[in-house]
Amino acid sequence: MSSIRKGVAIVTGSGQGIGRTIATRLAADGFDIGLSDVGSNKEKLDALSAELAVKYPGLRLCVEVADVSVEEEVKALIDSVVKQLGSLNVMVANAGINRVAPLVDATLTDWEAIFSVNVRGTFLCYKYAAQQMIAQDQGGRIIGASSLAGKKGHRFLAAYSASKFAVRGLTQSAAIELGRHRITVNAYAPGPIQTAMLELLHEGTAKHSEDKDGIYDKMKRTSAVGYLGNTEDVASLVSYLVSPEAHFVTGQTVAVDGGIFFD
């Protein structure tokens, strides 16, 4: 771990998957970390907190339960982390959900659930993180989670894909407004990264398709590199985007997909 403290980062959805690895990487980079997730993942947050505390003595951590789709909970998350750790320098709005269904069967309930977490949740994290960073007047880094499905439509993922396109619009608009405050705003657009979400996508796609190999083989076949990614592949991009040398990169949604889609 870097001995120079770099500031405070919040990572939403950090109980598991990509968020967990991003939090671990930023801790290794020298950030103090506000770990956050929904209540059902609190045990995983506590376990990660304990693991990081042992691995990186001197690291300051806090664990906050917050549903990113609830405005009061996002405000309380940021207030509490700032109170405990002293500032907010990096916000990683990573939390997201997915449901797999053919468009003609997709329900409004699923549509609204996906938009409330992926779009409203990202908006709330961007908004309240930006307010705090502007008040601190030290610049900052805001990062969102888009997707390969936010660059290109996908079968059985209409709502998810639309939500991840929305994250790109939010990211571009926020970058324009916040640049003069020395706050950069970028997003990552992962392709197939081996997590619980990818497993659900694989099962859902296989259920609705004649292609029983689901998405794993297809993703491998259609990528330049020929294999799936892992959570470290996304975390290393985030590590760069939050670094001082990334000051001139803003408004971007950067693909980490092994070369499946080219802008």
Q: Which H helix or E strand runs over 46? A: helix 42-55
CB 192 within 8 A of CB 149: no
Answer yes or no: 216 catalytic. Answer: no
Please give the Cα distance from 142 to 117 (Å, whole number).
Answer: 17
Nearer of residues 152 and 247 to ligand NAD, judged by Cβ: 152
CB 2 within 8 A of CB 215: no
Q: How far is the CB of 141 from ligand NAD (least distance, A)?
A: 17
Q: How far is the CB of 8 from ligand NAD (least distance, A)?
A: 18
Q: How far is the CB of 14 from ligand NAD (least distance, A)?
A: 7
Nearer of residues 7 and 19 to ligand NAD, judged by Cβ: 19
Q: How far is the CB of 100 from ligand NAD (least distance, A)?
A: 12
Answer yes or no: 160 catalytic. Answer: yes
Q: Which H helix or E strand runs over 165? A: helix 158-178
Helix or strand or coil: residue 12? Answer: strand
Report the interhelical angle of 158-178 vs 122-136 (nearest 10°).
10
Which residue in 168, 88, 169 sits closest to 129, CA to CA? 88
* Residue among 160, 188, 207, 218 flagged as catalytic: 160
Nearer of residues 3 and 238 to ligand NAD, judged by Cβ: 238
Q: Where does this chain bind ligand NAD (CB under 6 A)?
A: 12-13, 15-19, 37-38, 41, 67-69, 94-98, 117, 121, 145, 147-148, 190, 192-193, 195-198
Which of the residues are catalytic? 160, 164
